[in-house]
Amino acid sequence: MKIAFASTDNIHVNEHFGWCKRFYMYELKNGKFVFLKAVESKNEISEETDKLNYKIECIKGVDILCASHIGPRASLMVKNAGIFVLGVQKENELIKNILNKLLDMKDANPPLWMQRLLKPDGIVYAREFND
């Protein structure tokens, strides 16, 4: 499971998706999140749809996007790209707090969207059937 954060400092979630200049990516490995890389995301594109497509291309390969703000159009485009949009509870939420919450969710009773990300085939079965 990979997650991208829209951030100015890799500490806080404090950037709007459409205006983010850098995304910080983490991956769940061996029961913990590890930092993968920072991806530059220039804001030189003026046409809105092209800019949003470019931003989505920058985070290609992640499963979750976490930004301080995202507009409805951008949110829909991100979801249509197969990326789950995770909102923050408060301004300047700490990235480490969100990662810890995700780990707690995973270890307790993960919501359906997370179960899909954790299953290798992407299919979640509500229950097993026995013959």
Note whether 99 and 33 are within 8 A (CB): yes
Query: How many domains does the chain fold into?
Result: 1
What would the pLDDT profile of 14-51 be if each residue is shown by its tens digit? 999 999 999 999 999 888 999 999 999 987 888 999 99
Asked if the structure places residue 129 within a domain, the reply is no
Asked if the structure places residue 29 within a domain, the reply is yes
34 strand-pairing partners? 27
Asked if the structure places residue 127 within a domain, the reply is no
Domain that holds residue 37: 2-118
DSSP code of residue 25: E
pTM of the model: 0.88
Asked if the structure places residue 86 within a domain, the reply is yes
What would the pLDDT profile of 65-109 be if each residue is shown by its tens digit? 999 999 999 999 999 999 999 989 888 999 999 999 999 999 998
d(CA 56, CA 17): 9
Asked if the structure places residue 110 within a domain, the reply is yes
The CA distances from residue 98 to 13, 27, 69, 118, in Å, are: 9, 13, 15, 17
Asked if the structure places residue 12 within a domain, the reply is yes
Comparing 15 with 131, the larger pLDDT belongs to 15
Determine which helix (DSSP H) or strand (DSSP E) holds 2, and give its type and residue range: strand 2-6
Asked if the structure places residue 130 within a domain, the reply is no
Only one residue has tokens 């910080």, namely 24
Q: What CATH number is attached to the domain comprising 7?
A: 3.30.420.130
Note whether 13 and 95 are within 8 A (CB): yes
Q: Is the dihedral of CA 77, 78, 83, 89 positive or negative?
A: negative
Tokens standing for 29? 């490995």
pLDDT of residue 131: 43
Tokens standing for 87? 């909102």
Asked if the structure places residue 123 within a domain, the reply is no
